[in-house]
Amino acid sequence: MVEADPGHGSAPDPTVEEIFDAVAATAPRIRDALPGRRVESGTENPSGETVMAGDVYADELLAEALGDVDGVGSFVSEERAEALDVGGTVGDDAYAVAIDPLDGSSNLRSNNAMGTVVGVYDAPLPAPGRDLVAAGYVLYGPITTMVVADESGVREEVVERDDDAANGVSRSVVIDDLALPDEPTVYGFGGRVPDWPDAFREYAREIEGELKLRYGGAMVGDVNQVVTYGGVFAYPALVDAPDGKLRLQFEANPIAYVIERTGGSSSDGSDSILDVDPEGLHDRVPLYVGNDGPIERLEAALD
């Protein structure tokens, strides 16, 4: 677990604030672009997955917005094979930003929640999650919210258009010390039951008898259920895909960082996600996050 600040420790890093200002400023534009971009782009991403027109639009908008932030040296995206060098020296005078531009884009057709995931690393990528200095996500739900976690703590913000603001949006902190509820109440497990290894299936059966199912097909929406109500989210190792589905650099690490900073735990099945040493930008990893109890039971079940 990343030691949560006893209170409101160091002030937010100005570059981190600029990064999340840039991400917030793209949110209304991404939302507005979605109605016309619910179709496949005809291309595949480096993970071999179908890219939607919405993925392409969000990726290009975020690359431009984040490339313009002085303290960002490198932009890495789910939709790009290689890192985009945007100036500066990562780890010295610049951060590397890893982005899942549109998480859950299969929800475009079904008009369900989607998100944008952000990881801010103080090291060239690929890097372990311990090199994160901040992480967060935008949730395109009935309301556009943004969760931001950094050394100073975790907060939930509402992002709205604001024509009087320099970058066209306002960020209003609605929860300034976001913490996982003590008692777990919801769960969401990805993949198909026949594809789960026996040990996970038995664990899932126990959890299903205790908690309420909340699975919407977009990691950001499902994780936000856990952050709000307490519980556990997993996209587990599968029999034919032992590394699961989610990508370490721009999905698992940022989410693990956020959950650990809200007082919960993350795991790849045996240890914190943040300790996983990556080989490539698009490495996949099994992801289990939530309250300490369910995660400890998960690790015991898979041991």
Q: Which of 23, 86, 127, 218 binds ligand AHG (CB under 6 A)?
A: 218
- In the list 17, 18, 40, 49, the residue contacting ligand AHG (rule: CB under 6 A) is 49
Minimum gap (Å) between residue 235 Cβ and ligand AHG: 5
Q: Which residues does 165 contact at the CB level (< 8 Å), separation at least 6?
A: none
The H or E element that residue 290 is part of is strand 287-290
Give the dihedral sign, CA 73/80/247/229. positive
The one of Mn ion, ligand AHG, none whose footprint includes residue 49, by CB under 5 to 8 A per kind, is ligand AHG
Residue 59 as a binder of Mn ion (CB under 5 A): the answer is no
The answer to whether 106 contacts ligand AHG (rule: CB under 6 A) is yes
Q: Which is nearer to ligand AHG, 71 or 217 (CB)?
A: 217
Site string for Mn ion, 200-239 (x = CB under 5 A): ----------------------------------------
Q: Which two tokens stand for residue 47?
A: 């993970």
Residue 160 contacts ligand AHG per CB under 6 A:
no
* Cα distance from N-terminal residue to C-terminal residue, the chain: 19
Site stretch for ligand AHG (CB under 6 A), options 24-32, 102-110, 125-133, 289-297:
102-110
Does 104 participate in binding ligand AHG (rule CB under 6 A)?
yes
- State whether the Cα torsion 88-90-94-96 is positive or negative: positive
The answer to whether the bond into 197 is cis (omega within 30° of 0) is no
User: Which of 57, 137, 200, 235 is close enough to bind ligand AHG by CB under 6 A?
Assistant: 235
Q: Is 190 in the site for ligand AHG (CB under 6 A)?
A: yes
Site membership for ligand AHG, residue 200 (CB under 6 A): no
Single out the segment in contact with ligand AHG by CB under 6 A; choices: 62-70, 100-108, 203-211, 269-277.
100-108
Give the other-Cβ count within 10 Å of 10's Cβ.
Answer: 10
Encoded tokens for 49: 């997955």
Give the DSSP H/E element, type plus range, for residue 213: strand 212-213
Q: Return all residues near 221 (Cβ < 8 A) that are at least 6 apart.
A: 104, 107, 112, 113, 114, 115, 139, 141
27, 90, 219, 232: which one binds ligand AHG (CB under 6 A): 219
| Angle formed at CA 26 by CA 15 and CA 249, multiple of 5 degrees | 60
Out of ligand AHG, Mn ion, none, what residue 235 binds, judged by CB under 5 to 8 A for its kind, is ligand AHG
Site string for Mn ion, 92-131 (x = CB under 5 A): --------x-xx----------------------------
Strands 72-77 and 95-103, sheet pairing: parallel
Torsion sign, CA atoms 16, 17, 20, 22: negative
Residues that contact ligand AHG, how many (by CB under 6 A)? 13
Q: How far is the CB of 77 from ligand AHG (least distance, A)?
A: 10
Q: Which stretch binds ligand AHG (CB under 6 A): 122-130, 159-167, 176-184, 217-225?
A: 217-225
Helix (H) or strand (E) holding 186: strand 186-189
Contacts with ligand AHG by CB under 6 A lie at 49, 78, 100, 103-106, 190, 217-219, 235, 245
